[in-house]
Amino acid sequence: MAAKDKHGSSHSKKRGQISGTPRDGERPTPKKDKQDRSQSKKRKQISSTPREGERTTPKKQKFSPSKPGQPPSKVVKKNFSPKFASSKPGQLPVKGAKKTFNFSKSDKSSNFPEKKEPLSKREGRLLAKELAEARKKKRKRHYTLEQELASLWEKMRRRNISKEERSTLITKALQKMKGKIPEIASSHVSSRVLQTCVKYCSQSERDDVYEELRPHFLTMACNTYSVHLVKKMLDNASKKQLEAFISSLHGHVASLLRHMVGSVVIEQAYQLGNAPQKQRLLLELYSTELQLFKDLVSTKESRLIDLISKLGLQKASVIRHMTSLVQPILEKGIVDHSIIHRSLVEYFSIADKSSATDVIQQLSGPLLVRMIHTKDGVKVGILCVKHGSAKERKKIIKGMKGHIGKIAQDQCGTMVLICILSVVDDTKLITKIIVRELQNMLKELVLDKNGRRPLLQLLHPNCHRYFSPDELASLNLSIPSLCTKGENSDFETQAKSIEVGDTGENGSENVSEVAVADPSDNINHEENLQAVDGGKKDPFIRRLELLVDSGLAESLILTCIENAGELIRSNFGKEVIYEVATGGAGGVLWSTLADRLNALHEAIASLAALPKSDESEEEHVLENFHSSRTIRKLVMDCSTFASTLWKIALEGKCELWAQGHSCKVVCAFLESSDTVVRDLAKSELQPLIDGGSFKVPDTKLAES
């Protein structure tokens, strides 16, 4: 029976029994809602029934009989169009029939292999133990082989060993490594043994190693340890082997150049190859067509501009291809190789304004310092300095901080330093970073073949006596798309191509194109080469600030005074002391440092005034080959020095110095264009000439 609570509602005693009345706290359900729910259920039931004219779907057949005596198998049903079905097995499809596929358990077992039963714990332990023992034995064999090779290596790499004994040890080591050379080449221990064997073995043994490694060269080129063996093999390879190796690189040059280790192999092959082989390696970097078809272009067209015009390539497509190659290389910092420098020079010759600017921005900084050790790298550096903004030039100069001395003494790097001194207007920054480092090593620079060139550029800019025509032409490089002399569209018609050839070690010549604005007909070609474009500041004011205002000139004069004897006798120092003693081109030093220059003249004259002695170890400055000719030039070009030298060293002593190399110095007084200098010596030299003790050429005597 239902019991009533205090509210008067009844509930069922049995748990779970549903009562019509709500429980405590439960909201009563209205009758109208119950009616609506029942109606919705009825609607759902009615909607599931098929309508008139609607096709009914037959019920799913759960089982179909298979064979008598076997349990029924499940049916895998696949929906087909009702037009085609099979009525009986083995008959053609009948229209309107229904097709079913029956698979029995025997069919499933034949079509699908059964899963292996999992190993028990004991079997798993035994299998793991067997595998561990096998790996241990393999490592032991490898370790034993490494030990044997290491002991042989310690003997064969000694210097005090005979050739016969070393040859025996190498043959023994190669026999042990036979068949395992590719694996050994990748080991950080055994690869060194193999390198030593390749270095000292016979040619036949080297050929055998080459044949075994030939299928694995591309893989080894990207390995940190085996790459050294590949380089050693290339160094000792014959012409035929080098040709085969470069041919195997076809299609892989671009990908290997983007690899930190693989790029070393490409550079090695590029350095050892001749001109056609170098050209084949470069062609893959220019365009996809040239990368796929290696026989498309003859080796006569070395410049990218000529290739584009001859083959009808799309310039925009070539720029996109080279940009996609150059950008990853620069991002990874792989900029030390000459093949990359060469490709960048060609890239600048065709690049549009935005592409060239992006590359200059990426190179501005320490990256450029790593590039200026090659001839093409110098061209890239000069182009970056000339066409870079003030901010980018500042980054380049700051990136050189701490390396100025090394750059100045490098044959190629010194040209970039000269370009900075000739182009950049920020003389305070140059003084702070470049000039200060040069001041600390002036004597070393003056006596160095390349180190003296930045000083000579400041003293006598673009002088053909100190710079070759190719070097002067490199200072005049420019990028066509960034050239500011006129419209870029008319540049190609107004440009003049100057070919600058650099001969490699193997005698091959690399030719690059330099775009220079075409000078007018009435301007001398040599003067055009010497005109270095760049900053807006007046060149003479720039030189004055870098030489005089910075204190470099005063330090240089003091260095020349202290080491006058050593510098004037040396092959390279004589040119610096000559330019300093004459006051520089345009008399840049005379305005503020006249007293210092007079002191230098007296120092040189005092050396000439020393008595002639056979016991002295050093040759007298008037009889030395280099110093006598330097003093002769000073007498002819600087009247102040000529007067000082005559008064201190030669007056009354001309008869003593009338023979040998010193007679050239005495004759210089008669050859001088200054009448005061000629009059100084004429009264003393004329009696010697009349007496025959002093011979002067007829032309010189007539001029005097």
pLDDT score at 113? 54
pLDDT tier for residue 270 given thresholds of 50, 70 and 90: very high
Q: Tell me which of 651 and 382 has the higher pLDDT.
A: 382
Cβ contact 668:645 at 8 Å: no
pLDDT score at 499? 40
β-bridge mates for residue 511, sequence order: 501
pLDDT score at 513? 42
pLDDT at 476 over 50: yes
Average the pLDDT over 98-118 and give the result.
Answer: 53
pLDDT at 451 over 90: yes
pLDDT score at 491? 38
pLDDT score at 16? 42
Closest CA to 75 of 105, 39, 109, 100: 100
Question: Which of 267-276, 300-309, 641-650 has the weakest average pLDDT?
Answer: 300-309
pLDDT score at 675? 86
Give SS3 for 3. strand
pLDDT score at 143? 55
pLDDT tier for residue 370 given thresholds of 50, 70 and 90: very high
pLDDT at 89 over 80: no
Structure confidence by residue, pLDDT tens digits, 602-631: 999 999 998 887 777 788 898 899 999 999
pTM, to two decimals: 0.72
pLDDT score at 152? 86
The rounded distance, in Å, linking the Cα atoms of 350 and 347 is 6
552-577 in b/e form (b: 16+ CB < 10 A) is bbbebbebbbebbbebbbbebbbbbb
Average the pLDDT over 520-532 and give the result.
Answer: 39
pLDDT at 659 over 80: no
Q: Tell me which of 656 and 638 has the higher pLDDT.
A: 638
Closest CA to 664 of 690, 689, 636, 637: 636
The rounded distance, in Å, linking the Cα atoms of 425 and 442 is 23
Structure confidence by residue, pLDDT tens digits, 274-324: 998 998 899 889 887 776 666 665 556 678 888 888 877 888 889 999 999
In percent, the amount of the chain with pLDDT more than 90 equals 46
Q: Tell me which of 64 and 213 has the higher pLDDT.
A: 213
Structure confidence by residue, pLDDT tens digits, 490-517: 434 333 333 444 444 344 444 344 443 3
Average the pLDDT over 537-564 and give the result.
Answer: 93
pLDDT at 434 over 50: yes
Residues in CB range of 546: below 8 A, 6 or more apart:
421, 427, 430, 431, 435, 458, 552
pLDDT tier for residue 523 given thresholds of 50, 70 and 90: very low
Structure confidence by residue, pLDDT tens digits, 25-80: 455 545 445 455 555 444 444 444 445 444 544 444 444 444 444 455 444 444 44
pLDDT at 386 over 80: yes
Average the pLDDT over 249-268 and give the result.
Answer: 93
The rounded distance, in Å, linking the Cα atoms of 512 and 534 is 22
Question: Which of 360-369, 472-481, 512-521 has the weakest average pLDDT?
Answer: 512-521
Average the pLDDT over 108-115 and give the result.
Answer: 52
pLDDT score at 634? 94
Question: What Å distances lie between residue 447 and 557, 560, 607, CA to CA?
Answer: 14, 11, 19
Tokens of 691: 């007496």
Average the pLDDT over 417-433 and give the result.
Answer: 94
Mean pLDDT, all residues of the chain: 78
The rounded distance, in Å, linking the Cα atoms of 511 and 503 is 9
pLDDT at 359 over 60: yes
Question: Which of 95-99, 180-184, 470-474 has the weakest average pLDDT?
Answer: 95-99
Residues in CB range of 309: below 8 A, 6 or more apart:
none
